[in-house]
Amino acid sequence: MALTLRSSVWSITVAALVLVAFAHSTQADPLPSWQDSDSKTRIVDFVESVTDPESDSYITARDRVAVFDNDGTLWAEKPIYFQLLFAIDRLQKMAKEDPSIASSGALKAAVEGDLEALSASGHEGLLEIITVTHSNISAEDFTEEARQWLEKKHPETGLRYRDMVYQPMLELLRYLRDEGFQTYIVSGGGLHFIRAFAEEVYNIPPNQVIGTTLKASYQMVDGEPAIMKEGQLAFLDDKEGKPVAIDTRIGIRPVIAVGNSDGDFQMLEWSTSAPGASLGILIHHTDGEREWAYDRDSAVGSLERGLDEASSRDWLLVNMEQDWEQIWPVQP
Amino acid sequence: MALTLRSSVWSITVAALVLVAFAHSTQADPLPSWQDSDSKTRIVDFVESVTDPESDSYITARDRVAVFDNDGTLWAEKPIYFQLLFAIDRLQKMAKEDPSIASSGALKAAVEGDLEALSASGHEGLLEIITVTHSNISAEDFTEEARQWLEKKHPETGLRYRDMVYQPMLELLRYLRDEGFQTYIVSGGGLHFIRAFAEEVYNIPPNQVIGTTLKASYQMVDGEPAIMKEGQLAFLDDKEGKPVAIDTRIGIRPVIAVGNSDGDFQMLEWSTSAPGASLGILIHHTDGEREWAYDRDSAVGSLERGLDEASSRDWLLVNMEQDWEQIWPVQP
């Protein structure tokens, strides 16, 4: 009996020590794929300071809102936004059944798979393709189609599209949630497209995905109600649209905003110009070896104003090549 | 020492018994302001069954989404929507500075305080007043103005507008949240108006308020960024609009939907026509003594189709007079 008691005490002591050691190691490195550089230090220092009730910059749990752009911030966007590659695949299928669908320069370029000509058609051309391919389908069916498409492999990396997310950002999302933050996606990409993988891949539920939306209608289809996507743009969640969407959807001004292009400028400005502690982060694509190196004048994800003003606005510019030890969550 | 130990054991035993009794009483009556009628039984039975992992109708925490209309469901709406009374007050102030503002029949009726003529101007007239009074103001200032206005007293009950919420519904909201539900407002009323009191009064945070929205823009005002409300309608969150907004904002089909008028019909239909357990509830205003008695042909909160089809659709029709022991959270 005495021995049992003593060994129980021992077991408990050992278990407690293991727990303490584990807790300590977790605390010591919430971002294992980040190099031990200034970027990591700044992020961790910020989070520790705003979650410490003794700190002057303490932020209550209610106001711990962090917003993340998606394309180029949480996952890759080269050679062109993945949603557009999905739309092109869908358009090509549609054109096989009805070739007359290629009724404009942008649509023709897409059907022919000419990404360069397509890029040259600008924002309007891209929107035209989205419009044609994202209508007359229920939100549910659309999301399911996108989910299946995301299993396809990227031609350059050989990774599935759904795996082309950044491991350091997965860690950052998780770290922030562990510290009581709500993590939202605020993307120029389409709402239903992002939802097709956000919950499984980022652990971000559908109500925390904010994106560009098309008009939708409530209809009876075969006697069952459905949300049907219509072609026309309802809300473009880019540039000045991002703070507006944040107000509509969240209603709390974020204290952390993370982006990578000038489409995110206003979101960072809105999040970092209120009184109180805040952190603006721009992911700078500097790694031509493991990812793609681009910033100014890039057809996709162009970063100019952000690059010019990051320093004066005290935004953290993350250098992908130097700050990230690992890019992808799986080996290519 | 022995005595101390014995009395400690006693204290702990008594404390435990008190706790058990308390827990039991809480469990026994999560809805104390509801009469012990079939309505209460049906609600409690539903919640117990979908939260019981052993039950066939078990719903995981992720999918426990409950949506509530606001006007006439969570708070009163007579003689007319309170937001409209707020808008009329604001319009009258504006007209004192610029009388030419009363440029239409509806606006004139509002400035003269003629609610009957105003009601006769229909939905468009009401929208016109909202448009004129809800523009050129930042979302933040607007919400603050609404917050102050809600301290005013209702002419008939003498209660502050912010206190004209239904005590049984406050209990239902809380009960559902205690059982792991997310509680959303899905209202035809204005997003920023509802946010002015939803968090304090209903314990519903800004990101769980869905309402009608006006266009908004991101602007620099005196060197600081602001979300400015513009007059034009962006999204009318009523009738068919409600399921569309639920899809955009929540992205999960609700399993509980509560409304009181035909503006909520599609929301209830959408929530209760999916496979799996669901509960549609309509609050029927039957209490002319303590509240207002109305349904068919009411200028505000008209309930016709819902009344006709509640039974065949197995929606619960709550009879305010018979099912609610208490209406308001404070004494008039």
In tens, the pLDDT along B247-275 reads 999 999 999 999 999 999 999 999 999 99
**Structural contact between residues A39 and A319, judged by C-beta atoms closer than 8 angstroms:** yes
Taking an 8 Å cut-off on Cβ atoms, the answer to whether A240 and B249 are in contact is no
Q: What is the pLDDT of residue B1?
A: 42
Q: Find the residue in B nearest to A272 (Cα).
A: B225
Report how many Cβ contacts below 8 Å link chain A to chain B.
Answer: 78
Mark which residues 45-74 of B lie under 8 Å from A by CB: 62
Q: What is the pLDDT of residue A127?
A: 84
Predicted confidence (pLDDT) per residue in A298-329, tens digit: 989 999 999 999 999 999 999 999 999 999 99
Q: Which of A184, A186, A200, A218 to mutate against chain B (most B CBs within 10 Å)?
A: A218
How far, rounded to the nearest angstrom, does the alpha carbon of residue B169 sit from its chain's CA centroid?
Answer: 9
Distance CA B181, CA B198 (A): 17
Q: What is the pLDDT of residue A222?
A: 94
Interchain contact B269–A (C-beta under 8 A): yes
Q: Which of A62, A205, A240 is nearest residue B218 as measured by Cβ atoms?
A: A240
- Rounded to 5, what percent of chain B is helix, strand, coil? 45, 20, 35
Distance CA A190, CA B262 (A): 31
Among B61, B40, B31, CA closest to B181: B61
Taking an 8 Å cut-off on Cβ atoms, the answer to whether A252 and B62 are in contact is no
**Structural contact between residues B69 and B260, judged by C-beta atoms closer than 8 angstroms:** yes
Q: Which residues of A touch B248 (CB under 8 A)?
A: 191, 213, 216
Nearest-CA distance from A128 to chain B in Å?
21
Predicted confidence (pLDDT) per residue in A35-85, tens digit: 999 999 999 999 999 999 999 999 999 999 999 999 999 999 999 999 999
Query: Which residue matches tokens 């909201």?
Result: B173
CA angle (B300 as vertex; B298, B306 as ends), nearest 5: 65
My answer on whether omega of the bond before B225 falls inside 30° of 0, hence cis, is no
Q: What is the mean pLDDT of chain A?
A: 93
Q: Find the residue in A nearest to B207 (Cα).
A: A250
Output the CA torsion sign for A249, A239, A114, A297: negative
Segments of chain B scoring below 70 in pLDDT: 1-27
Strand partners, B214: B233
Among B287, B236, B278, B229, CA closest to B260: B287
- Cα distances (Å, whole numbers) of residue A232 to A132, B161, B251, B280: 9, 40, 20, 32
Nearest-CA distance from A248 to chain B in Å?
8
Q: SS3 for B189?
A: strand
Q: Which of B144, B218, B233 to mutate against chain A (most A CBs within 10 Å)?
A: B218
The complex's ipTM works out to 0.91
Mark which residues 178-197 of A lie under 8 Å from B by CB: 182, 191, 195
- Cα distances (Å, whole numbers) of residue A308 to A5, A249, A282, A303, A305: 67, 30, 12, 9, 5
My answer on whether omega of the bond before A30 falls inside 30° of 0, hence cis, is no
Give the β-pairing of B224-235 and B209-221: antiparallel
Q: Find the residue in A nearest to B242 (Cα).
A: A218
Q: Which residues of A touch B240 (CB under 8 A)?
A: 217-218
Q: What is the pLDDT of residue B98?
A: 94
Strand partners, A211: none
Both tokens of A220, joined, read 């009876």
Q: Which residues of B touch A224 (CB under 8 A)?
A: 273
Q: Which of A182, A195, A269 is nearest residue B251 as measured by Cβ atoms?
A: A195
Mark which residues 200-259 of A lie under 8 Å from B by CB: 205-207, 209, 213, 216-218, 224-225, 227, 234-235, 240-241, 243-244, 247-252
A113: left (phi over 0), alpha (psi -120 to 50) or beta: left
Taking an 8 Å cut-off on Cβ atoms, the answer to whether A207 and B249 are in contact is yes
Interchain contact A266–B (C-beta under 8 A): yes
Which amino acid appears at position B103 of this protein?
A: S
Distance CA A1, CA A12 (A): 16
Burial environment of residue B78 by CB neighbours within 10 A (0 to 12, 13 to 18, 19 or more): buried
Q: What is the pLDDT of residue A329?
A: 97
Q: Find the residue in B nearest to A270 (Cα).
A: B225
Q: Which residues of A touch B209 (CB under 8 A)?
A: 251
Mark which residues 131-150 of A lie under 8 Å from B by CB: 139
Among A75, A241, A226, A238, CA closest to A159: A75
Q: Find the residue in B nearest to A240 (Cα).
A: B218
Which amino acid appears at position A140 of this protein?
A: E
Q: Find the residue in B nearest to A196 (Cα).
A: B251
- Please count the CA atoms within 13 angstroms of the CA of A68 that sit on its side-chain side: 27
Q: Which of A205, A241, A251 is nearest residue B206 as measured by Cβ atoms?
A: A251
Interchain contact A297–B (C-beta under 8 A): no
Q: Which residues contact A106 (CB under 8 A, 6 or more apart)?
A: A118, A121, A124, A125, A126, A128, A129
Taking an 8 Å cut-off on Cβ atoms, the answer to whether B248 and A224 are in contact is no
CA angle (B182 as vertex; B177, B186 as ends), nearest 5: 120
Taking an 8 Å cut-off on Cβ atoms, the answer to whether B240 and A250 are in contact is no
**pLDDT tens digits, chain A, 332 residues: what are they?**
444 555 555 565 565 555 555 555 456 799 999 999 999 999 999 999 999 999 999 999 999 999 999 999 999 999 999 999 999 999 999 999 999 999 889 999 999 999 888 888 887 888 899 989 999 999 999 999 999 999 999 999 999 999 999 999 999 999 999 999 999 999 999 999 999 999 999 999 999 999 999 999 999 999 999 999 998 999 999 999 999 999 999 999 999 999 999 999 999 999 999 999 999 999 999 999 999 999 999 989 999 999 999 999 999 999 999 999 999 999 87
The percentage of chain A sitting over the pLDDT mark of 90, rounded to a whole number, equals 84
Interchain contact A270–B (C-beta under 8 A): yes
Q: Find the residue in A nearest to B270 (Cα).
A: A225
